[in-house]
């Protein structure tokens, strides 16, 4: 497995997923800010709503850029989306836990610090999402 993780294909996919994840993260952060700061929705609910938007963007961009050569889900788009959302759902749980720790436990509860907490949480969960998709969802 270690050899596979340092292969040219793995590194290429990781860089591609990093770009895709970066775009999806921007979607997530903007939507979190809109829901939390502009609409005044509680931060944990805002995190869940932003998750829906970012995961949809991440699946779409990841499918056409990072995992485009994977034919495992040809004609099975619903199954693919379901698995991607399942992996991301676990990531969401990690994200919610981290947000709770940062905002409630550590007291980072201003609008700016909540957004910063969201950015930190996203970065931490990024690694989980990539590895789970690479080795579980898109593993041939």
For residue range 114-138, list pLDDT tens digits in order. Answer: 889 988 888 888 888 888 988 888 8
Say what the pTM is.
Answer: 0.72
67 part of a folded domain: no
Report yes or no on 29 lying in a domain.
yes
- Can you tell me which residue has the tokens 């609008």? 111
Asked if 46 and 28 touch (Cβ cutoff 8 Å), the reply is: no
Query: How many structural domains comprise the chain?
Result: 1
State how far the Cα of 121 lies from the Cα of 91, in Å rounded to an integer: 10
Has residue 132 been placed in a domain?
yes
Q: Is residue 5 part of a domain?
A: no
State the average pLDDT over residues 80-85.
90
Mean pLDDT over all residues of the chain?
88
Q: Is the pLDDT of residue 106 over 90?
A: yes
Domain annotation covers residue 97: yes
3-state helix, strand, coil in the chain (%, to 5): 80, 0, 20
**Measured between alpha carbons, how far is 140 from 78 in angstroms, rounded to an integer?**
18
- Residue 65, in any domain of the structure: no
What is the residue range of 97's domain? 11-59+75-137
Indicate whether 44 belongs to any domain. Answer: yes
Sign of CA dihedral 114, 52, 81, 67: negative
User: CB burial class (10 A; 0-12, 13-18, 19+) of residue 8?
Assistant: exposed
In a domain, 15, yes or no: yes
């Amino acid at each position: 497995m270690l050899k596979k993780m340092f292969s040219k294909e793995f590194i290429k996919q990781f860089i591609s997923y990093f770009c895709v994840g970066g775009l999806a993260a921007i979607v997530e952060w903007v939507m979190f800010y809109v829901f939390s700061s502009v609409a005044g929705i509680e931060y944990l609910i805002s995190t869940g709503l932003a998750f829906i938007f970012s995961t949809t963007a991440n699946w779409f961009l990841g499918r056409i850029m990072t995992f485009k050569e994977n034919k495992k889900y040809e004609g099975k788009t619903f199954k693919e989306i379901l698995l991607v959302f399942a992996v991301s759902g676990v990531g969401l749980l990690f994200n919610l836990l981290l947000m709770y720790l940062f905002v409630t436990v550590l007291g980072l509860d201003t609008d700016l610090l909540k957004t910063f907490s969201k950015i930190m949480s996203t970065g931490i969960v990024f690694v989980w999402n990539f590895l789970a998709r690479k080795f579980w969802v898109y593993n041939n």
